[in-house]
Amino acid sequence: MNRAALLWRVASFAVAAGFVALWQLIANLKLVSPVFLPGPDRAWASLVRGFSSGDLWSKLAGTLEHMAYGWLAASIAGIAIGAIIGSSRRMRTYVAPSLEFLRPLPVSAIIPVAIAMLGLTQAMALFVIAFGAIWPIMLATIHGFAAVEPRLYEVARSLQMSRLAVIFKIALPSASPDILAGMRLSLTVALILSVVCEILAGLDGLGHWVLLSARAFRSADLFAGVILLGVTGYVTSVAMSLAEHRLLAWQAAQR
């Protein structure tokens, strides 16, 4: 990072700090009732208290666990199903349109069905998160497989590679940018659905924590939870970008 960029960064942080100061000012002057809007000092104190007592750690761990299991299950199943559908022209004409038809369905609408089948349980949450997160990954995989350079398939045919070898050696690597982009989209979906499921089913996690805090009008705890959810969203997406960068480095070098 050169000097000018660094200065801009500092200035940008200063602006953000200005907004936090403004928030503090509004809270101090009680322009908005403190029942709804705690100052950043109180939210911060609540964060520190929550972490030192271990409460927030366990909530954070709960949410991350829901998110990670659901997302990993969706990634594995999504890539597998996407590869099966994407690698066969017949499957693409018969199955892909139905999937495209289902795509605009608000996935949260599956929650009541999942509750009816599995009850207000951990399994329900995992099913819902995985179901919601699978779409972007699966569709990206199908799309990535369909967009593979046709000459690569010709090479595979002339080398008489098996279908599995074609998938693992040609299609998956060349579709990997699409797949990783789909996985990144799914990460956000997984976080949102984790929060919704925790709210609905009372599962241990940040979603449940913010709802309880709201019910008890503990606004500082509520804001602490929301800030932590924002941090979770930010950190997971940055981690995904880094992973994407690492995994796709060979492609950047090729171009």
- Residues near another protein (CB under 8 A) are 8-9, 11-13, 15-16, 19, 35-36, 93-98, 101-102, 104-113, 115-117, 188, 191-192, 195-196, 199-200, 206-207, 210-211, 213-214, 217, 219, 222-223, 225-226, 229-231, 233-234, 237
Q: Measured from the CB of residue 168, what is the shortest distance to another protein in angstroms?
A: 27
Give the integer Cα–Cα distance in Å for 224 and 219: 8
Give the integer Cα–Cα distance in Å for 43 and 220: 5
CA atoms within 13 A on the CB side of 194: 27
Closest CA to 39 of 230, 120, 47, 15: 47
Q: Which is nearer to another protein, 62 or 225 (CB)?
A: 225
Q: Measured from the CB of residue 75, what is the shortest distance to another protein in angstroms?
A: 19
Q: Which is nearer to another protein, 179 or 210 (CB)?
A: 210
Q: Which is nearer to another protein, 234 or 250 (CB)?
A: 234
Q: Measured from the CB of residue 13, what is the shortest distance to another protein in angstroms?
A: 5
Q: Measured from the CB of residue 130, what is the shortest distance to another protein in angstroms?
A: 17
Give every CB contact of residue 141 below 8 A, 6+ residues apart in sequence: 78, 79, 81, 82, 83, 86, 175, 178, 179, 182
Q: Which is nearer to another protein, 126 or 200 (CB)?
A: 200
